[in-house]
Amino acid sequence: MENEATLILIKPDGLKKSLTGNILTRLSETKLEIVASKMVRVSRELAAVHYQHLADKPFFEDVLKYLMGEFHDRRKVMALVYWGEGASVKCRSLAGSTNPEEADPVSIRGSYGRITTRGVYENVIHVSAHAQDAEREIKLWFDPDEIIVNLFPTRTVVETKEKRAWL
Ligand code: IDP
Ligand code: MG
């Protein structure tokens, strides 16, 4: 297997249930390297582009609200990039199936996920499906300078954008 990167999101239910430590411990079994991490307040636009492949599904709206934290009073997710051999396959295997009731009971989703009465699969984490999806998703969630290795080709841009600085 080749070295590749995968995007992990600890979704708002994972944060609210205080599962960050458990999830990171489980993922450490992969021996992959964490090359980026941050907390993100998820805009509707970001959620919609992230889940663009579900746009025609009846649960699309609820999945956006879920990722934005509207069901959990936690308007944030933890985003991480894991890097190494077979990163997506290894992390998805630990995550378990999309439907938490069908997921292996000892997988992360099988252990901690649920289907809500609204029908949303609250499955605690996101893992990119494969290297190609991972590239699209990592570029969506992270800037090159937020990742400590060079994953993809970059260009230099001159920005004049205002930003906050410490007083
Ligand atoms: P994945 O997260 O395992 O890659 P996707 O098909 O990409 O699965 O779906 C993205 C997310 O949308 C899932 O993690 C889950 O939260 C939600 N979802 C997917 N399919 C369903 C469904 O049939 N009903 C309700 N929610 C779903
Ligand atoms: Mg997916």
Domain 3-146 has CATH 3.40.50.1860: no
Look at the block and give the residue holding tokens 């989703």: 109
- pLDDT at residue 159 tops 90: no
How confident is the model at residue 110, as a pLDDT? 98
Domain ranges, ordered by start, for the chain: 3-146
How far is the C-alpha of 64 from the C-alpha of 100, rounded, in Å?
Answer: 18
CB contact set of 81 (below 8 Å; sequence gap of 6+) = 5, 6, 7, 8, 34, 35, 36, 37, 138, 142, 147, 151
* Residue 66, pLDDT score: 98
* Percent of the chain whose predicted confidence (pLDDT) is above 90: 96
> What pLDDT, on the 0 to 100 scale, is given for residue 21?
98
Helices (H) and strands (E) counted in the chain, each on its own, are 7, 6
What pLDDT digit, counting tens, does each position of 56-68 carry? 999 999 999 999 9
**Is residue 115 within 6 Å of ligand 1 at its C-beta?**
no
Q: Is the CB of 120 under 6 A from ligand 1?
A: yes
> Span 152-157, mean pLDDT?
97
CA nearest ligand 1 atom 4, residue: 129
Is the beta carbon of 52 within 6 A of some atom in ligand 1? no
- The model's pTM is 0.97
Q: Band of the pLDDT at 111, cuts 50, 70, 90?
A: very high
Q: What backbone torsions phi and psi does residue 98 show, to the nearest 5 degrees?
A: -55, -45
Question: Measured at the alpha carbon of residue 48, what is the angle toward residues 43 and 49, in degrees to the nearest 5?
Answer: 105
